[in-house]
Amino acid sequence: MALPTSVKLFEMAPRDGLQNEPGNSVPTATKIALVERLANAGITHIEAASFVSPKWVPQMGDAAEVMAGIKRQPGVVYSALTPNLKGLENALTVGVEEVAVFGAASEAFSQKNINCSIAESLTRFEPVLDRARDVGVRVRGYVSCVLGCPYEGEIAPHKVAEVAKALYEMGCYEVSLGDTIGVGTPLSAKRMIEAVQQQVPIEFLAAHFHDTYGMALANLYAVMEEGVSVIDTATAGLGGCPYAKGASGNVATEDVLYLLEGLGIETGIDLQAVIDTGYWITSELGRKPSAKVALAKGPSR
């Protein structure tokens, strides 16, 4: 049960964060500046955009402009969500080097969120994975609702393991396990990881936890004890819906960094630079960071 000596953070704010802002209100230049500031802070993996239909997610309608506009730094991966082949082709035109597909461990959530069964979604990902392999683009797989579903309630760990295994065997280099509604606790998180790692080696698993019930850091600590060493976070805790009751986004990058520093776990990321970036982007959005560490430490002067 030794903790990992280093952890890779995968930054979600530009995509999973900003896609939840109301309307299509964030200027393209702001999105690009956010990605560049995060990279300057030392973050090496950033999900920068989503190539989905602007009919469904107008917030990401400028994905190609964002990806094309980023001044890329060596050693930083800028990835994009590509739910289907069309999204992938669009992403390839702007030189994306890594993409992601998005599945669920809950049948009901899969139907409501992506309008198909889990099995159908996996079939739909196959041509994306094939094409990505052909052009040398890495693919990350997401599984949502791994610790609970808003429609089905509890999700059995073996169900998560099945979907994770399918994505891994299909060619995903990493599978990110999402507690989409933030209902998990350390025990359910550990049990889920124990089931999944029987199908996918633990070094290829990432924890993607939302902090809706305040459990994210405790759950991350528990799964790091199991050996998980990749964590998805969003600067300023962006994501969720800022106007809905109790909704809350990804666990905040600032809070996870503070936790990791306290545990002596290396990330190579400058916490104060992330705090400053969080204050900047939330001031652009007209609010404060929802990262307790950011509020406690404050921006630098």
As annotated, the active-site residues are 241
Q: Does 185 bind a copy of itself (CB under 8 A)?
A: yes
Strand stretches in 215-256, DSSP E: 230-233
Look-up of token digits 């393991």: 161
* Least distance CB 79 / a copy of itself (angstroms): 27
> Which residue's CB is nearer to a copy of itself, number 14 or number 289?
289
Q: Is 272 in the site for a copy of itself (CB under 8 A)?
A: no
List 75, 264, 286, 301, residue binding a copy of itself (CB under 8 A): 264
DSSP 118-180: HHHHHHHHHHHHHHHHHTT-EEEEEEE-TT-BTTTB---HHHHHHHHHHHHHHT-SEEEEEET
Residues touching a copy of itself, count (CB under 8 A)? 35
Residues with Cβ within 8 Å of 57's Cβ and at least 6 positions away in sequence, in order, are 19, 50
- Taking each helix axis from N to C end, the angle separating 107-114 and 118-134, rounded to the nearest 10 degrees, works out to 60
Taking residue 276's Cβ as centre, other Cβ atoms within 10 Å add up to 18
Q: How far is the CB of 156 from a copy of itself (least distance, A)?
A: 16
Q: Compute the least distance from the CB of residue 243 to a copy of itself, in Å.
A: 13
Name residues contacting a copy of itself, limited to 199-258 (CB under 8 A): 211-215, 217-218, 220-222, 245-246, 248, 252, 255, 258
Neighbouring residues of 133: CB distance < 8 A, sequence distance ≥ 6 = 171
CB of 261 to a copy of itself, least distance (A): 8
Euclidean distance between CA atoms 87 and 190, whole angstroms: 34
Nearer to a copy of itself, 61 or 148 (CB): 148
* 26 versus 183: smaller Cβ distance to a copy of itself: 183
Q: Which of residues 279-298 bind a copy of itself (CB under 8 A)?
A: 291-293, 295-298
Q: With CB under 8 A as the contact rule, which of the stretches 6-14, 137-145, 157-165, 184-192 interacts with a copy of itself? A: 184-192
Q: Supply the minimum distance, in Å, between the C-beta of residue 160 and a copy of itself.
A: 17
Site for a copy of itself in 93-112 (CB under 8 A): none
Q: Nearest approach, Cβ of 266 to a copy of itself (angstroms)?
A: 14
162-198 core/surface letters (b: 16 or more CB in 10 A; e: else):
bbbebbbebbbebbbbbbbbbbbeeebbbbbbebbbe
Closer residue to a copy of itself (CB): 30 or 185: 185
Rounded distance between C-alpha atoms, residue 24 and residue 60, angstroms: 8
- How many Cα atoms sit within 13 Å of 85 on the Cβ side? 9
Interface residue list for a copy of itself (CB under 8 A): 1, 182, 184-188, 211-215, 217-218, 220-222, 245-246, 248, 252, 255, 258-259, 261-264, 291-293, 295-298
